[in-house]
Amino acid sequence: MENELTAAHRIYKRLWSKTVAQLKSDGLRIDSLLRNKAGDARRGVTLVAWPDAGVRRRVNTFLREAAVICPGQHFYKPAQLHLTVLAIIPGSESWREQIHRLPACQAVLDKVLKNRRAFSVKFRGLTASPDAVMIQGFPTDDTLAALRDKLRDAFRQHGLDENLDRRYKISTAHLTAMRFSDPKADWKDLLSLLEAHRETDFGSTRFQSLQLIWSDWYASTGVVRVLQKYRLND
């Protein structure tokens, strides 16, 4: 597990170093669709886990601070905060071309997720990408990594892996908390706030269930539809 933790730290640190430079040079990627959610046609199907109330509350406290310093950005509401286990049909405007795969994907999920173990994640500190601010998650053992590997192998064996990890291979346990949607912002003050929370303890969660959801780009409460629930064994 030491290697898994080391890898997570390395990924988060690399993202942070790259994004700090872009914050200082106004080089962030602004998602203009976030300012017009009604016109955003991106949809997808994702296997997710939801952090507990304590984690959501602590993250929301940070986001309230960020909203004062950097209004106009997209801040996730507590109910939207989620850990992506695997993107089954990656969120995009072309989701209709992939939705026919869903029944076959669900059959694979039903088989693989039987008798799988629960896992725990500690959420400590934050990092950022050119698109978003993320709460860093650190699994306490290799259960989540093994689950993802098992799922990827099963999808590959059934010829359903074409679009898995299309955007990037998910290997961390982060929570996306904020996305950049307004180019007019005081990035210097935001950077100061982010630096102040680089080691903040946001709590931990024992994930005892997963959900397969249909959702928009940001898991909006009014859009999310739960397709299936999976219980994990302790």
Our measurement of the distance from residue 91's CA atom to the centroid of its chain's CA atoms, rounded to an integer in Å, reads: 12
Could you tell me the CATH superfamily of domain 2-231? Answer: Cyclic phosphodiesterase (3.90.1140.10)
**Nearest by Cα to 84 from 166, 171, 193, 157:** 171
- State which amino acid sits at residue 198: R
pLDDT of amino acid 152: 93
- Residues linked to residue 86 through DSSP beta bridges, in sequence order: 47
Q: Which amino acid is at 10?
A: R
Distance CA 148, CA 154 (A): 10
What pLDDT is stored for residue 163 in this prediction?
67
On the question of pLDDT at 94 being above 80, the answer is no
Give the residue-averaged pLDDT of 215-223. Answer: 85
Give per-residue pLDDT as tens, 120-179.
Answer: 999 999 999 999 999 999 999 999 999 999 999 999 998 887 766 555 568 899 999 999
Domain locations in the chain as residue ranges? 2-231
pTM above 0.85, yes or no: yes
Q: Distance of CA 5 to CAs 8, 16, 136, 218, Å?
A: 5, 16, 11, 27
Better-predicted residue by pLDDT, 173 or 185: 173
> What's the confidence (pLDDT) of residue 74?
92
> Is the pLDDT score of 2 beyond 60?
no
